[in-house]
Amino acid sequence: MVALAFKPGVTLACLLALGWAASSWADLAPYEARYSIYRNGKLTGKLEIELKRDGSHWEIRSEGSGTHGLAELLGARDSEKVSGILSGGRYIPHSYTRHTQAAGIDDHYETTFDWEADQVTIVHDGSESYTLPLQGSALDPLTMKLEIRRRLNDPDPDLSFLMVEDDEIDTQNFRLLEEEWLETSLGCMETTPIEKIRQNSRRYTRAWHAPAYGNIEVRIEHGKTRGDHMELRITELSFGGVQILPRPGCSVMQSAKRPEPAK
């Protein structure tokens, strides 16, 4: 996505019309999802994500914590929350917070979006303050993930973003991978995988999105080649107020599709 230069007198509605022309969120549904976190194949924590509606406002909440091994001993916790509205078929964030704790580290970020002024203000631990240009399209990490889900509804999605990260605006680029049937705790799911594009880096990030459930992430992998490998695997899901029950595994579904041998 090409960043938009802000001009005096350009309203939020104009920015939406110019910069975010894609499928709308007419079918956005509340959901709750729970994930297990694995490090190098060993269970280390859990993550819970919730998208809920309160009148005209929508809130996304993410809560992660260490439950096993070193992550539990260090008291690792990470929470994020963003509040915003739907406008012009898009989710528009108003405020975003992140709180990270582990081994004596206690970081807190508060981010406030001012779309009319085309700027965002980040306050770190209640003292350090940064004001940055939004360039008409920069998003917080939780909203960016929601925007990825929306754009995956398009036949040829634009997966280039500007993200507000701590004290800077960072460019994030992704590419589509081949569709894949994925084995999960909820059974076999058809997924759309994407991969973060990195130049000259050993790091990798991949995410598998389930079109049947609004393109929510059902697995995420992140790590470094010949280094630590982290995975998030979905274990529970309530989508649109309906609890999703486990379905058959991929091997069962494949067997059901095989033609019967000729007699």
pLDDT of res. 97: 97
**pLDDT category of residue 136 using cuts at 50, 70 and 90:** confident
Domain-by-domain residue ranges, the chain?
29-252
CA distance 222 to 195: 10
Residue 123 pLDDT greater than 80, yes or no: yes
Q: 40-73, pLDDT tens digit by residue?
A: 999 999 999 999 999 889 999 999 998 888 788 7
Say what percent of the chain tops pLDDT 90: 68
Nearest to 164 by CA among 217, 111, 242: 111
Residue 220 pLDDT grade (very low, low, confident, very high; cuts 50, 70, 90) = very high
Pick the CATH number of 29-252 from 2.50.20, 3.40.50, 3.30.70, 2.40.160: 2.50.20
For 62, the 3-state DSSP assignment is strand
* Contact between 196 and 174 (Cβ < 8 Å): yes
Q: In the prediction, which pLDDT does 222 show?
A: 95
**Residue in this structure with the two tokens 């940055």, named with its chain if needed:** 132
Tens-digit pLDDT profile for residues 87-115 = 888 899 999 999 999 888 899 999 999 99
pLDDT the model gives residue 200: 81
Find the angle CA(234)-CA(236)-CA(239) to the nearest 5 degrees: 105
The pLDDT tens digits of the residues spanning 243-262 come to: 999 989 998 766 655 555 55
User: What element of type H or E holds 17?
Assistant: helix 12-19
Residues 208 and 185 sit within 8 Å (Cβ to Cβ): no
Q: Across all residues in the chain, what is the average pLDDT?
A: 87
Structural contact between residues 226 and 216, judged by C-beta atoms closer than 8 angstroms = no
Closest Cα partner for 109 from 101, 118, 97? Answer: 97
Q: How far is CA 222 from the centre of its chain?
A: 13
